[in-house]
Chain A
Amino acid sequence: MELQLSPVLTFAVYFSFFSLTISLFMGLYRLLIGPTLPDRIVVMDLVASLSIGLIVLYIIATGQTVFLNVAVAIALLVFMGNVAFAKYLIRRIKK
Chain B
Amino acid sequence: MTDWIAAFFLISGSLFMLVAAIGVIKLQDVYMRMHAITKAASLGAILMLAAVSLLYVEWIVWIEAVMVILFVIITAPIASHMIAKAAHKTNMPKGEGYVMDELEGVDNETLEEK
Task: Please report A residues at the B interface, Cβ cutoff 8 Å.
Answer: 5-6, 8-9, 11-13, 15-16, 19-20, 22-24, 26-27, 29-30, 35-36, 38-39, 41-43, 45-46, 49-50, 52-53, 56-57, 59-60, 65, 68-69, 71-72, 75-76, 78-79, 82-83, 85-87, 89-90, 92-93
* Cα separation A52 to B38 with both chains bound (whole Å): 14
List, sorted by A's number, 5 A–B pairs whose CB atoms are closer than 8 Å. A8-B3, A45-B76, A69-B64, A75-B75, A90-B90
Are B17 and A93 touching (Cβ within 8 A)? no
Q: B24 contacts which of A6, A42, A56, A60 (Cβ < 8 Å)?
A: A42
Closest chain-A Cβ to B57's Cβ sits at a distance in Å of 11
Q: By the criterion of a CB under 8 Å from any partner CB, how many residues of chain B are at the interface?
A: 57
Chain A residues with CB below 8 A from B21, complex form: 22-24, 26-27, 46, 50
Kindly state the separation between the CA atoms of A60 and B49 in the bound complex, as whole angstroms. 11
Query: Complex formed: what's the CA distance from A37 to B19 in Å?
Result: 22
How far, in whole Å, are A46 and B25 apart by their CA atoms in the complex? Answer: 12
The answer, yes or no, to whether B56 is at the interface (CB within 8 Å) is: yes
Q: A36-B30, A36-B92 are in contact. Are A79 and B75 (CB under 8 A)?
A: yes
| Interface SS, B side | helix
User: In the bound complex, what is the Cα–Cα distance between A68 and B83 (angstroms)?
Assistant: 27
Pick from B18, B30, B41, B48: contact of A57, CB under 8 Å: B48
Residues of chain B whose beta carbon lies under 8 Å from any beta carbon of chain A: 3-4, 6-8, 10-11, 13-15, 17-18, 20-22, 24-25, 30, 33-34, 37-38, 41-42, 44-45, 48-49, 51-52, 55-56, 58, 60-61, 64-65, 67-68, 71-72, 75-76, 78-80, 82-83, 85-87, 89-90, 92-93, 111-112
